[in-house]
């Protein structure tokens, strides 16, 4: 028997006991290890990019959950925020991160709090979302925070119906009203109380806002 054939046969015989890593699996493991190394860098910018890259892998980054949980306790807020986001992209496979993410609901960074809610909703899609955190964020002085919070409401969908009064109020916010309309559309038929305000928005001189309102109305009236 040739050496290569012998190695293959041995791998097949031993796979049940110890497992044999294919070349493709080995390559994927090494790529994941490189991204984890970036995440663990002392340079915050490198670490943030590592978290972004891991998030882009989605469920394929499940092997990085422990490293991402560690990153949630970093002193740099952007690192915590992106690590939280990455855990959400992994989805239910990041269940072990729930306790650490819940601690971020009171983080000093408003965007980190928003991302923590988003990730918890993605990891536990049947659990009650932390709407109190999102409602507070939609009242933040920073328009970016308001937009991001509305975006998370849109993703959560019908479970976020308790945010209706806040979203309807945001339709008057020139910087955020499109995002509020998208969020109302995401909630769907449960957002019927917003129909009047959205109809008025369709007559807005802001074409993008009017379009967002029309799309939201279509989804609500389904």
User: What pLDDT does 16 receive?
Assistant: 45
- The per-residue pLDDT string of the chain (222 residues; one tens digit each, 9 = 90 and over) reads 445 444 444 444 444 444 567 787 788 888 989 999 999 999 999 999 999 999 999 999 999 999 999 999 999 999 999 999 999 999 999 999 999 999 999 999 999 999 999 999 999 998 989 999 999 999 999 999 999 999 999 999 999 999 999 999 999 999 999 999 999 999 999 999 999 999 999 998 899 999 999 999 999 998
202, 178 Cβ separation under 8 angstroms: no
Using alpha carbons, select from 174, 173, 168 the residue that is nearest to residue 153: 168
The architecture CATH gives domain 26-127: Alpha Horseshoe (1.25)
pTM of the shown model: 0.83
Give whole-number Cα distances, 86 to 76, 91, 93, 198, in Å. Answer: 16, 9, 12, 33
Number of other residues whose CB lies within 10 A of the CB of residue 74: 18
pLDDT at position 146: 98
Task: Give me the pLDDT at residue 22, please.
Answer: 78
Residue 129 is predicted with a pLDDT of 92
Number of C-alpha atoms within 13 angstroms, CB side, residue 4?
A: 0
Residues of CATH 1.25.10.10 domain(s) within the chain? Answer: 26-127, 131-222
Burial 95-107, CB ≥16 within 10 A → b, else e = eebeebbeebeeb
Q: How many CA atoms does the CB half-sphere of 200 hold within 13 Å? A: 8
Q: Are 78 and 52 in contact, with CB atoms under 8 Å apart? A: no
pLDDT at 15: 46
**Residue 155 main-chain phi, psi, to 5 deg:** -65, -40
Has domain 131-222 been given CATH number 1.25.10.10? yes
CA separation for the pair 181, 176 (Å, rounded)? 9
């Amino acid at each position: 028997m040739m050496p290569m054939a012998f190695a293959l046969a041995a791998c097949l015989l031993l796979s049940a006991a110890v497992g044999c890593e294919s070349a493709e699996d080995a390559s994927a493991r090494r790529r994941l290890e490189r991204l984890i190394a970036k995440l663990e860098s002392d340079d915050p910018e490198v670490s943030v990019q590592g978290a972004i890259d891991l998030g882009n892998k989605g469920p394929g980054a499940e092997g990085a959950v422990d490293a991402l949980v560690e990153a949630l306790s970093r002193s740099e807020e952007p690192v915590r925020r992106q690590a939280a986001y990455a855990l959400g992209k992994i989805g239910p496979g990041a269940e072990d991160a729930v306790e650490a993410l819940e601690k971020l609901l009171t983080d000093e960074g408003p965007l980190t709090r928003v991302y923590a809610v988003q990730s918890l909703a993605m990891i536990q899609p049947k659990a009650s979302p932390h709407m109190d955190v999102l409602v507070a964020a939609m009242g933040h002085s920073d328009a970016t925070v308001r937009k991001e919070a509305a975006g998370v409401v849109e993703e959560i969908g019908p479970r976020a119906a308790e945010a209706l009064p806040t979203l309807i109020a945001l339709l008057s916010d020139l910087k955020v009203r499109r995002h509020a309309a998208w969020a109302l559309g995401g909630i769907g038929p449960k957002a019927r109380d917003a129909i009047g305000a959205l109809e008025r928005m369709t007559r807005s001189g802001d074409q993008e806002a009017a379009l967002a309102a029309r799309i939201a109305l279509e989804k609500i009236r389904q």
